[in-house]
Amino acid sequence: MVAPRLMLAAPSSGSGKTLLTCGILKALKQRGLKAASFKCGPDYIDPLFHRKVLGVPSRNLDTFFTGTETTRYLFCQAAKEADISVIEGVMGYYDGIGGDSVQASSYELAKVTDTPVVLVVNAKGMSLSVLALIQGFLKYREDSRIAGVILNQASAAVYQRLKERIEQELSVSVFGYVPRCPELVIESRHLGLVLPEEIEDIQKKLDNLSKLLQETLDLEGLLALADTAPHIKYQELAMHQERSLLELKSIKTRAQGLRIGVTKDEAFCFFYEENLELLTKLGAQIVPISPLHDQNLPEELDGLILCGGYPELHAERLSGNTSMQESVRERILGGIPYLAECGGFLYLQEHMEDMDGKLWKMAGVFAGTACRRSQLVRFGYLTITANGEGQLLPPGEQIAGHEYHYFDCANNGKNYHGRKPSSSREWDCMQGGERYAAGFPHLYYYSNPGFVVNFLQMCSRYQATVRREEA
């Protein structure tokens, strides 16, 4: 399939990738082009900004979660109707698992998807040294796929001088520059960037950024570069993936018509779009729910998914919504199958601290208190296996995920076992049983669709028994 595409990568985090990606996406949209956007790696917040720009979902691509073929399939699925696809890289271009590998790096994703790369270089405080930095990235891997450069935080005068030297000496195209714009900087906090909804006049800022970039970037050159991306096989990938899902579904469950409540509000907004799409492919209907704004859960639900997010920033309002807490607790204790990740797991505790250390009452499904720590408790990729029978994940199988949290709980659970892929670190994690799994890990369903099918199977049983009895 024809899929014009490019990746915006950088030498390090903090180089301005997200802001630049949003500005370019906005400019493409204003030109009437239909763009698809992606984020490399396990990131929830950057795709929220992409979504804000385009008004459509943004997706994650991660070779640790899904390997080569499934990653290509997921890319093609989202890109097949787009005029151009823009992939935002993660961390430094070659930075992968464990800090000593290119596995799951932006570089590996560029190889897997055969995508040309534009390196975003923060040129603040440098002149000719920029060439040395770029040359290092070009030569570190012979197949770097770096085809162009954008200079960030550069003045027009410096840019003109450097552009000529870069293109003469390094034989790589320079597609423009971004001047220093402090009024357009996105603020950060403990888990990363603030959310788009928290930025005053964000659409106006994005419009201003787009207008600026249309003056300082060579958008025609970027479009031409995207057009050089090789055709990518899709039909065989799609047939294989769809056949596998149909086989799983037919063996395990009849999911058609299942209504799965998924938290979606300011406090619980961390979810992979691909996870929800997989549930839909398997026949489930997604029903948005809000522990912040709804007073009760909808009557006709067959399962619950409590996503991660920032409940600690909304603890007082969550605690004050006692009717919703009672509704969640009663439904869970009544047997509804559920999944809870990180922030969703915090919500199910008896109490939770906010960012100031003040204690607030939560849903009370699990005994104990969620407390904030002074530093990251756990960070990074992990593989998860079940400790014995009676779980949604059969013994011997794995599902991939990641953790990134400053909070900890008195009892994180011992029903699953987490292992770091790049070290000897391992630990018991997650509460679990035949109808639920709850803990800090964020799971990527495509890494083991059987886990989701097992969950939907329990939802189907619940629909056939408990919910019908209630009716």
DSSP state letters, 367-403: EEEEEE-SS-SEEEEEEEEESSSSSSSPTT--EEEEE
Active-site residue, selected from the candidate residues 40, 342, 371, 429: 342
Distance CA 208, CA 424 (A): 48
Q: How sure is the predictor about 465, in pLDDT bands with cuts at 50, 70 and 90?
A: confident
> Residue 81: its pLDDT value, please?
93
Distance CA 192, CA 310 (A): 11
Is residue 176 within 8 A of residue 156, CB to CB? The reply is: no
Q: Name which of 154-163, 230-239, 347-356 the model is least confident about.
A: 230-239
Nearest CA among 350, 303, 354, 307 for reference residue 325: 350
Q: What is the mean pLDDT of the chain?
A: 91
Distance CA 45, CA 331 (A): 30
Q: For residue 237, give every residue at least 6 positions away whose Cβ sits within 8 Å of its Cβ, in sequence order, or none.
A: 69, 72, 73, 76
Tell me: pLDDT of 21 over 80: yes
Average pLDDT over every residue of 421-426: 86
Q: How sure is the predictor about 461, in pLDDT bands with cuts at 50, 70 and 90?
A: very high
Active-site residue, 342 included: yes
Distance CA 275, CA 135 (A): 39
Distance CA 19, CA 247 (A): 42
Tell me: pLDDT of 189 over 50: no
Average pLDDT over every residue of 75-95: 96
* Residue for token pair 């995920």: 401
Average pLDDT over every residue of 448-471: 86
Q: How sure is the predictor about 177, in pLDDT bands with cuts at 50, 70 and 90?
A: very high
170 vs 467 pLDDT, higher one: 170
Distance of alpha carbon 169 from the chain centroid: 38
Average pLDDT over every residue of 34-45: 92
Residue 194, both tokens: 């603030």
Q: Name which of 30-34, 272-276, 370-374 the model is least confident about.
A: 370-374
> Residue 450: its pLDDT value, please?
92
Tell me: pLDDT of 426 over 50: yes
Q: How sure is the predictor about 183, in pLDDT bands with cuts at 50, 70 and 90?
A: low
* Residue for token pair 């890990």: 441
Quick: pLDDT tens for 300-317.
999 999 999 999 999 999
Quick: pLDDT tens for 92-128.
999 999 888 999 999 999 999 999 999 999 999 899 9
Is residue 337 within 8 A of residue 436, CB to CB? The reply is: yes
Q: What is the 3-state secondary structure (H, E, C) of 20-70?
A: HHHHHHHHHHHCCCCEEEEEECCCCHHHHHHHHHHCCCCEEECHHHHHHHH
Average pLDDT over every residue of 279-284: 91
Work out the angle at residue 295's Cα, subtended by the Cα atoms of residues 294 and 300, and round it to the nearest 5 degrees.
Answer: 80
Q: How sure is the predictor about 468, in pLDDT bands with cuts at 50, 70 and 90?
A: low
